[in-house]
Structure 1
Amino acid sequence: MPVSFNHTIIGAHDPALSADFYLAVLGARPAPNWGPFINIQLDDDTLLQFAPAPVNDPIHMAFLMNDDEFDRGYNALRTLAVEHWADPQMTRPDEISTDEGKRVYFKDPSGHLLEMLTQAYL
């Protein structure tokens, strides 16, 4: 079996709120919950598990998607009035980058820095 990414546990102040945010912005789908986890699944079947935890060190996650999904996600960000930037330094607010595909940076409800992009770095 080839190696692939299966799941990650994401610490969240409010796991249900975070899961709902990712469902709306990424267009993910709900998955069965168990234990302390609120679970959602991406199109490639990667499982994102949200667990109650203090968020002392926010993480960065990037989500590669096609143009249509990016536009849907970006519209969700604007509808939800989520602050966003064209750069990871957060110096270009309310913009997207179009230098190499489309790219936008934003924070989830627990402060994790997320990125949606249409062109992979490699």
Structure 2
Amino acid sequence: MTVELNHTIVPARDPEASAQFLAGILGLTVDPPLAHFTPVTLANRVSLDYDRLDDFEPHHYAFMLGEQEFDAALARIRHGGIAHYGDPACQEIGQIYHSKHFRGRRGTYFHDPDGHLMEILTPGDAGS
């Protein structure tokens, strides 16, 4: 068997609200609770298992989307009045980035309700 990531724990002050936030942006649904976790499962079957914690360091999570899915997610971000940025330092407000290393790759960053830095990006073409 090959090695695959199965799930990761995402700390959240309100797991249900944070899972609903991300699922809403990505056009996904929140899975039924699993023990005390609130999971969101991605297309590659990796789940983000939201778990209640009061004190934690924010993390970075990046999601690869097709072109149409990216446009739809970006529209939901903009429609929701969610600040998004063209850089991970969150200085380029309202921007998307265009990769210098992957022709056609676009992406943007935004924060979830718990301060995690979320990124959505498209694949683009390697080698440029």
TM-score, normalized by the shorter chain, greater than 0.5: yes
1:1-55 superposed Cα distances (whole Å, 9 cap, x missing partner): 1111110110101111101111111122332312211111111111111111024
Bigger Rg over Cα: 2
**Structure-2-length-normalised TM-score:** 0.87
> Is 1:33–2:19 an aligned residue pair?
no
Q: State whether structure 2 residue 81 is matched by structure 1 residue 90.
A: no
Query: Given the two structures, how large is their TM-score scaled by the length of structure 1?
Result: 0.91
Q: Following superposition, which runs of at least 4 residues in structure 1 exceed 3 angstroms of deviation?
A: none
How many residue pairs end up in the alignment?
122
Consecutive unaligned residues of structure 1, counting only runs of 5 or more, are none
How many angstroms apart in 2 are the aligned matches of 1:8 and 1:26?
A: 17
Q: Which amino acid aligns with 1:58?
A: P
Gaps in structure 2 of 5+ consecutive residues: none
Q: CA RMSD in A?
A: 1.7
Rounded Cα–Cα distance in structure 1 between residues aligned with 2:72 and 2:55:
28
Query: Matches of 2:16 and 2:79 in 1, distance apart?
Result: 19
**With CA pairs under 8 Å and 6+ residues apart, which has the higher RCO, 1 or 2?**
1
